[in-house]
Amino acid sequence: MTLTPGSHVLVTGGAGYVGSVCATVLCEQGYRVTVIDDLSTGNRAAVPSEATFVEGDVLDAAPSVLADDCAAVFHFAAKSLVGESVETPAKYWHGNVVTTLQLLDLMRAAGVDNLVFSSTAACYGEPETVPITEEMPTRPTNPYGATKLSIDAIITSYAAAYGLGATSLRYFNVAGAYGEVGENRAVETHLIPLVLQVAMGFREKIFIFGDDFPTADGTCIRDYIHVRDLADAHLLAATSNEPGTHRIFNLGSGDGFSVRQVIDTCREVTGHPIPAEVAPRRAGDPATLIASSARAVADLGWRPQRSDLHTIVQDAWSFTAGLGDRAHAARR
């Protein structure tokens, strides 16, 4: 089925951070969006008001959504915490691999052949060189990355045998916000939102997990990509998927910033001193992760517009400060 504005699309996990921004952009571009989310980690308020929202298990809710002239599926619903995946791998293999396999079978039964799959840099593990291209070895160092990589093998074979047209997008460090949709998790582990919580006065200081890595200032280097640019890539992927083909793209800015550089940028943007203290390394953190997104630029025509670190932090800060205002308003 051709995908054009007006088409019905399913967004699983559309109450989560990246899923809700993509759902918002899809609504803005005129798509008819149904979000399925069990709200285990997502926020109901992040689902755009124009979307139809179904609260519940993806596999229970998907058949009727897929049967309703659905032209494409954007599959975000997943477990996505590295540390948790090491402690409770069963939750990850079932929640990510088994659920996606069953969703693919439901799509096949309903004749829906267009998929965009939310994946991760964790598929590569510890790289030998950067920037990381899609041809480099995939050696995930935790169950989270292993589940996402396994799903790619399933998708590749379904594309070849059953005519699925699919794209897997391997995100590097997603950050920033889009208006009133941003990072707002019950349990936060990501650097930028944690640093901004210090600036908001919700935390006393930020811990820097290790300053003895082989990098210029000793702290880990990551490639931060704006969530709004990421949403563009999803649309470009869905509108160019070809039946029988599975494409894989890395999505990053191609620039690396150390933990200290991120904290400095947050200080500049917020005007807050943001106390920081060096703490031991976090298990499993690679020293440097930088993407090559050359393939996405060449094949999808992807042009990130907002992925410089200052804009990312500025947008995240506007969102975080707004959250504080909204919480304050709600208490009055």
Residues that are catalytic = 144
Total site size for ligand UFG, rule CB under 6 A: 21
Q: Which is nearer to ligand UFG, 83 or 179 (CB)?
A: 83
Q: Which stretch binds ligand UFG (CB under 6 A): 6-14, 27-35, 178-186, 203-211?
A: 203-211
Q: Which is nearer to ligand UFG, 114 or 219 (CB)?
A: 219
Angle between helices 191-199 and 259-270 (to 10 degrees): 40
- CA distances to 75, 80, 103, 169 from 27, rounded to whole Å, are 16, 25, 23, 20
**Helix and strand numbers, DSSP H then E, in the chain:** 11, 13
CB nearest ligand UFG: which residue? Answer: 220
Binding of residue 220 to ligand UFG (CB under 6 A) = yes
Min separation Cβ 236 and ligand UFG, Å: 22
| 101 in Cβ contact with 154 (< 8 Å) | yes
Angle, CA of 41, 61 and 25, to the nearest 5°: 60
Min separation Cβ 172 and ligand UFG, Å: 7
Which token pair is 257? 């910033």
121: three-class secondary structure by DSSP: helix
CA distance 179 to 28: 13
Please identify which residue in 44, 190, 205, 326 interacts with ligand UFG, judged by CB under 6 A: 190
Ranges within 232-261 binding ligand UFG (CB under 6 A)? 259
Please identify which residue in 181, 206, 238, 300 interacts with ligand UFG, judged by CB under 6 A: 206
| 270 in Cβ contact with 317 (< 8 Å) | yes
Binding of residue 122 to ligand UFG (CB under 6 A) = yes
Binding of residue 222 to ligand UFG (CB under 6 A) = yes
Please identify which residue in 205, 282, 303, 310 interacts with ligand UFG, judged by CB under 6 A: 282
Please identify which residue in 20, 96, 173, 253 interacts with ligand UFG, judged by CB under 6 A: 173
Q: Which is nearer to ligand UFG, 72 or 291 (CB)?
A: 291
Q: Which stretch binds ligand UFG (CB under 6 A): 39-47, 54-62, 185-193, 238-246?
A: 185-193
Binding of residue 208 to ligand UFG (CB under 6 A) = yes
- CA distances to 33, 176, 187, 196, 210 from 320, rounded to whole Å, are 26, 10, 15, 7, 26
242: three-class secondary structure by DSSP: coil
* Dihedral of alpha carbons 218, 222, 226, 229, sign: positive
Ranges within 37-96 binding ligand UFG (CB under 6 A)? 80, 82
CA distance 62 to 134: 31
Mark residue 6 as left, alpha or beta (left: phi above 0; alpha: psi -120 to 50; beta: remaining).
Answer: left
Consecutive H or E run containing 314: helix 309-331
Q: Which is nearer to ligand UFG, 46 or 121 (CB)?
A: 121
Q: Which stretch binds ligand UFG (CB under 6 A): 56-64, 95-103, 104-112, 281-289?
A: 281-289
Q: Which stretch binds ligand UFG (CB under 6 A): 102-110, 205-213, 226-234, 237-245?
A: 205-213
CA distance 312 to 314: 6
Please identify which residue in 121, 236, 237, 290 interacts with ligand UFG, judged by CB under 6 A: 121
Ranges within 11-30 binding ligand UFG (CB under 6 A)? none
Q: Which is nearer to ligand UFG, 188 or 308 (CB)?
A: 188
Residue 311: count of CB within 10 angstroms of its CB: 16
| 274 in Cβ contact with 198 (< 8 Å) | yes
* Dihedral of alpha carbons 134, 135, 136, 140, sign: positive
Give the footprint of ligand UFG on this chain (CB under 6 A): 80, 82, 120-122, 144, 173, 189-191, 194, 206-209, 220, 222, 259, 282, 285, 289
